[in-house]
């Protein structure tokens, strides 16, 4: 699929909207009745590589477009608000980098939650390969898991099971718990060395540094996955990028800057 010695020239982080979530999602020790809401930044990740552009995650489902009250009247009312604008539709995010969905050589799907896979429909017609963990495919029929746009059966799925060395400089790390087939991504970039995209295996620095428990489908498995990425980060002296950390998002390099 890709050259073994593929070079990751640049890792771009592209902001893609934000959510307001109950603090409980980030720290389950607080209890579900805690009323505080926290800002939750959302990004997609674009790799400029010697084999062409690779996309990691595709952002919000478009049911959230100018519709932060999507969950009104559901069990999540008051706990979760998604803020998506026209600029956050995937084609507009890619346009910032001079790209269209058809230009993407490979999509890495970390998981199928509503804020990470909402742009997947743009790869139906192109039949771009979408790399996904086998266990994440088990939720495609689960209407409570995420909106339909995030659970498309007709994509060109390239299915892996467990850790997977995509090429010398990109390694997929199986980190289930937050979702059945969640995966993180270890990238060796030409200019910045190793970067670990924790995605939702560590939502915040507090989760990563202090083992603060967060919302997960299987908390025990999630805790083991957290230990795994902590060890990998230490082994490679990698820079960890957390999934939804407001403080980190304020200081991180975003497009057109890169890692």
Q: What is the pLDDT along the chain (259 residues), one digit of tens a residue?
A: 799 999 999 999 999 999 999 999 999 999 888 889 999 999 999 999 999 999 999 999 999 999 999 999 999 999 999 999 999 999 999 999 999 999 999 999 999 999 999 999 999 999 999 999 999 999 999 999 999 999 999 999 999 999 999 999 999 999 999 999 999 999 999 999 999 999 999 999 999 999 999 999 999 999 999 999 999 999 999 999 999 999 999 999 999 999 9
Model pLDDT, residue 143: 93
Q: In the numeric block, which tokens belong to residue 52?
A: 């062409």
Model pLDDT, residue 230: 98
Assign domain 8-162+206-215+242-251 to its CATH architecture: 4-Layer Sandwich (3.60)
Model pLDDT, residue 90: 98
Q: In the numeric block, which tokens belong to residue 238?
A: 């990698």
């Amino acid at each position: 699929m890709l050259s073994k010695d593929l070079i990751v020239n640049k890792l771009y982080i592209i902001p893609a909207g934000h959510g307001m979530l109950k603090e409980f999602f980030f720290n389950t020790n607080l209890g579900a009745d805690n009323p505080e809401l926290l800002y939750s930044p959302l990004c997609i990740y674009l790799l400029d590589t010697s084999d062409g552009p690779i996309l990691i995650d595709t952002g919000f489902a478009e049911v959230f477009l100018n519709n932060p009250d999507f969950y009104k009247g559901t069990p999540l009312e008051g706990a979760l608000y998604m803020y998506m604008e026209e600029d956050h539709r995937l084609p507009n995010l890619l346009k910032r980098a001079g790209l269209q969905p058809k230009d993407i050589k490979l999509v890495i799907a970390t998981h199928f939650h509503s804020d990470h896979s909402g742009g997947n429909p743009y790869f139906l017609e192109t039949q771009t390969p979408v790399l996904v963990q086998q266990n994440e495919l088990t939720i495609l029929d689960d209407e409570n898991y995420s909106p339909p746009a995030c659970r498309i059966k007709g994509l060109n799925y390239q299915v892996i099971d467990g850790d997977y060395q995509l090429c010398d400089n990109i390694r997929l790390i199986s980190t289930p718990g937050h979702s059945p087939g969640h995966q993180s991504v270890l990238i060796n970039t030409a200019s910045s060395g190793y970067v670990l995209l924790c995605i939702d295996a560590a939502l915040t620095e507090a989760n990563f540094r202090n083992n603060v428990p967060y919302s997960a489908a299987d908390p025990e498995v999630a805790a083991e996955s957290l230990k795994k990425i902590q060890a990998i980060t230490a082994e490679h002296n990698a820079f960890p990028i957390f999934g939804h950390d407001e403080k980190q998002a304020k200081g991180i390099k975003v497009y057109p800057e890169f890692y």
